[in-house]
Structure 1
Amino acid sequence: MIATEDQARAYVAGLCDPPAMERLDLLIRALAEENERQNLVARATLPSVWLRHIADSAQLLEYVPRETGPWLDLGSGAGLPGLVIAAMRPDWPVVLVESRRKRIAWLERMRDELALEHCRIEGARLENVDSAPVGVISARAFAPLARILTLSSRFSTSETLWLLPKGRSAAQELQELPKGQRSLFHVEQSRTDPASGIIVGRLAGRKRP
């Protein structure tokens, strides 16, 4: 279990190269500044930003092979986890979906400042984003699990990996799914919070074109 800022930073450094760590340092500084203008994250979490936000996002990479299709991050908000993933894997296509105007502006500015050429911001409600098959779907504090699956299944093939950090509600939300869907997912314990879980799985569906 990762318990301190030093441990969190070391953990993230083990998942990426030095240029990615420089991008993350820039992101953290900008996040603290922007948080004075809009409430991107709870102010009380900023002293433990590596643990609470960066490592918490970065741990999703452990479930994803080095070669994967586009990564779709729903309700990106402050860029967690999608912007962190894009900063750590700048060669991957990462799509950040966000409908709130100020958050869209923040994500676009950070994409440009971090020079993330393969990161795209979809400034719209998810319902208005064109369907396309993706390799990974992530969402952190976006919607209840059943709602996420309903809204996002059109982006999913049988190969799409779903990575959904759900905090302490993970097991309960999974149990509330219909039995047929429930069997396709499981809960992994978060590395950054012993009481939190990540819902991981694949939906049965169409094959990737």
Structure 2
Amino acid sequence: MSVSRETERLAAYAGLLRKWNPAINLIAPSTIAQIEARHIADSLHLAEIAETAEDNWVDLGSGGGLPGIVVAIMRPDLDLTLVESDRRKAAFLRNALRELALPRAKVLCNRIETLDRLDAANISARALAPLPQLMAYVERHLSPSGTAWLMKGRNWQAEVSQARDDWKFDLKTHQSATDPDAAILEITGIRHA
């Protein structure tokens, strides 16, 4: 796929977020003007960091599709599953996948904790839950050799410290491309402490 086709799809996706957001609140209304510069740029950074990821990818708590839809656009070779329990947001995601012609991506409208184990090679999450809680979701659905790609805000270091009370894991951090205090956590080897 050419870069221009990816750019076209990203622009179309931004348009869908703007169109649907007033009705469903997919992203904070105060950040609408920053869709490309913040939301999509963050997700593009994740796709770039995870460029060698293989097999399947699960995006937990997809909401408006960040980072899941952006990963699907940039990595059409991956089988991608977007997990979102809110029916209206799941409907948005299904519509977006159809309009953006992303046939290898699908939506599961379920609660993360009630889903059968997904055994994902890669899991992403953004603005879903504090890391100690998020680790239980990730551990439930990540294959033993898999990688979690977790987008965390300014409190990421405190969250990592708290998560280590109950979990052991290998961690590689990547500074956010849009916020010097935020990070993408690349986590492997997850096990109970």
Q: Is the contact between residue 124 and residue 149 of structure 2 (CA under 8 Å) also seen in structure 1? A: yes
Partner of 1:199: 185
Identity of aligned residues (%): 35
CA distance in 2 between partners of 1:68 and 1:78 (Å): 24
Q: Is the contact between residue 23 and residue 87 of structure 1 (CA under 8 Å) also seen in structure 2? A: yes
Structure 2: gaps spanning 5 or more residues: none
TM-score normalised over the length of structure 2:
0.90
Counterparts of residues 38-187 of structure 1 (less than 5 Å): 38-66=24-52, 68-178=54-164, 181=167, 184-187=170-173
Amino acid at match of 2:55: G
Q: CA deviation at 1:59?
A: 0.8
Q: Is the contact between residue 41 and residue 178 of structure 2 (CA under 8 Å) also seen in structure 1? A: yes
Which is worse superposed, 152-161 or 87-96? 152-161
Q: Is the contact between residue 138 and residue 164 of structure 1 (CA under 8 Å) also seen in structure 2? A: yes
User: What is the alpha-carbon root mean square deviation over aligned residues?
Assistant: 1.8
Amino acid at match of 1:58: L
Structure 1: gaps spanning 5 or more residues: 1-15
TM-score normalised over the length of structure 1:
0.84
Partner of 1:3: none
Which is worse superposed, 87-96 or 70-79? 87-96
Higher strand share: 2
Amino acid at match of 1:27: Y
1:187-206 Cα offsets, whole Å, 9 max, x none, are 3210111121222220246x
Aligned residues: 190
Q: Is the contact between residue 181 and residue 203 of structure 1 (CA under 8 Å) also seen in structure 2? A: no
CA distance in 2 between partners of 1:176 and 1:128 (Å): 24
